[in-house]
Amino acid sequence: MRCDDLEPLIEGIADGSLPMSADDEAHVASCALCSQRIARARSIEGLLAMRDVAQPPAAFAHTVMARVVQERWKAERAIDLGFNLAIAAGILVIVAAGAGLLWSLGMLSVTIDVDAIVQALDTTGTGRLLSQVQTIAMSAVLLTMALVLWWWAEAARE
Amino acid sequence: MRATPEHLLVERCRQGDETAFRELVDQYKGLVFALIARSITNRARAEELAQDVFLKVHKGLPFFRGEAKLSTWMYRIVINVLSQERPELATASLDDRDDEDRPRVQPAADDRAFGDLVMKDRLQKAIEQLPVQYQVLINGHYLKGMRYEDLAEALNMPMGTVKTHLHRAKRRLRHLLETEYR
């Protein structure tokens, strides 16, 4: 019973942070188990204090800085890819909208009849054309924004 | 050479000053590496993880608001990195009662192996079996340069609790050495 009471205090006794009472000392002096536990805890304490301190390699900071540059490059590449995709998407939408406009006017054929376009512009009215024009305008805005962002990112990098 | 005050170094790093970040790495590489190398015996892996810590610091600096000390924040990152490396030990219980149930052998009368090189190896293996928080506590406590306050803040424990947990960690270590690593 006494040994069980002392067991949770062993580490404190071993590192000197918990002073033993006279009763504890008397018990430890007569108990092989507890004195063995304290001896073992003191050995662990000594070994822990004597453990080697591993030193980083000489080029450690240099390697970290190289990895920082590499990570930044990866991030920039991802941003560049995003811009390129946005620009490509913008161009694609403009082309698609243009094709849609021509198709809706019935002019999507191998040869484009300029007269028909002019005539169509005169006759179809703004209602039918407006939706196509809006699409083109929107994609043009998107494209401009992508280009501005790209310019800003490049300027920030410099 | 005197080290730049922490807040100035952080400010320069946040402004994108690479020299300042290099200074920061030089200032903390010893502690960070030693702390990790005491938990991860594979030196190459320990080096890689220590580098990861500094990469996370670099990424996180713009969001570091200085509520905690830079060193405390870095030790927290070390704990996270070690926890990711050994997830099974990251969530291991720190409760003493779990340890009570473990059948233990009583220390033998003749224990001459204790204290020799074999014992050092056994100690290292036993430390690696401890929950990550206990590992950091033991490894950090016996590392010159880390203070109780740093450990308490990094482990999110009150100062008084650090000592209690340190004793528990060492007790668990002793129990491990009495059973698994004999």
pLDDT at B102 over 60: no
Helix and strand tally (H, E) in chain A?
A: 7, 0
User: What pLDDT, in 10s, does the model give residues A57-67?
Assistant: 999 999 999 99
> Are both B71 and B106 inside the same structural domain?
no
Digit-coded pLDDT (tens) for B116-165: 667 888 888 999 999 998 999 999 898 876 777 888 888 888 888 888 89
Whether A146 and A87 have beta carbons less than 8 Å apart is answered as: yes
Biggest alpha carbon distance in chain A? 117
- Predicted pLDDT at A97: 83
Q: Which residues of chain A have pLDDT under 50?
A: 1
* Residue B110 pLDDT greater than 50, yes or no: no
Domain-ending residue, one of B85, B114, B141: B85
Question: Is B125 part of the contact surface with chain A (CB cutoff 8 Å)?
Answer: no
pTM over 0.80: no
Residue A156, chain B, CB below 8 Å: the answer is no
Q: Are residues B99 and B45 located together in one domain of the fold?
A: no
Residue of B nearest to A16 (CA): B167
Q: Is residue A60 less than 8 Å (CB to CB) from chain B?
A: yes
- What pLDDT does residue A145 have? 83
Inter-axis angle of helices B117-128 and A32-50, nearest 10: 90
Q: CA A19, CA A38: separation in Å to the nearest integer?
A: 13
Say how many domains are in chain B.
2
Q: Sign of the C-alpha dihedral, residues A121, A124, A130, A131? A: negative
Task: Give A99→chain B minimum CA distance, Å.
Answer: 45
SS3 assignment, position B132: helix
Distance CA B95, CA A91 (A): 62
Q: What is the dihedral of CA A58, A63, A64, A69, to 10 degrees?
A: 150
The H-or-E segment that residue B29 falls in is helix B18-37
Cα–Cα distance list, A25 to A29, A85, B59 (Å): 6, 78, 55
Domain interval for residue B167: 93-178
Q: What is the C-alpha separation between A153 and B7, in angstroms, rounded?
A: 28
Tell me whether residue B168 is in a domain. yes
The verdict on residue B105 lying in a domain is yes
CATH number of the domain bearing residue B26: 1.10.1740.10
Q: Dig out the tokens for B160 from the structure.
A: 């008084």
User: Would you call B163 an interface residue with chain A, using a CB distance cutoff of 8 Å?
Assistant: yes
> Distance (Å, rounded) from C-alpha A15 to C-alpha A44?
10
B88 band by pLDDT with thresholds 50, 70 and 90: confident
Question: How far B60 CA lies from chain A's nearest CA (Å)?
Answer: 12
| C-alpha span between A138 and B35 (Å, rounded) | 56
Residue A61 has a CB neighbour count (10 Å cut-off) of 20
Cα radius of gyration rounded to whole Å, chain A:
40
Contacts of A3 in chain B (CB under 8 A): none
Asked if residue B112 and residue B52 are part of one domain, the reply reads no
State pLDDT tens for residues B18-30.
999 999 999 999 9
Residue in A closest to B47 by C-alpha: A56
Question: Does residue B1 sit within a domain?
Answer: no
The verdict on B97 and B169 lying in the same domain is yes
Give the 3-state secondary structure of residue A95.
helix
> Which residues neighbour A114 within 8 Å (Cβ) at sequence distance 6 or greater?
none
The CA-based dihedral angle spanning residues B72, B74, B78, B79, taken in that order and rounded to the nearest 10 degrees: 40
CB contacts, 8 Å: A56 with chain B: 29-30, 33, 47, 50
Contacts of B96 in chain A (CB under 8 A): 8
Cβ–Cβ gap A47/B115 under 8 Å: yes
The residue assigned the tokens 């243009």 is A98
Residue B75 and residue B12 in one domain: yes
Domain presence at residue B162: yes
Interface test with A, best of B28, B171, B181 (most A CBs within 10 A): B171
Q: Which of B105, B114, B117, B168 would you mutate first to test chain A, the one with the most A CBs within 10 A?
A: B114
DSSP H or E stretch at residue A111: none
CATH of the domain at B170: 1.10.10.10
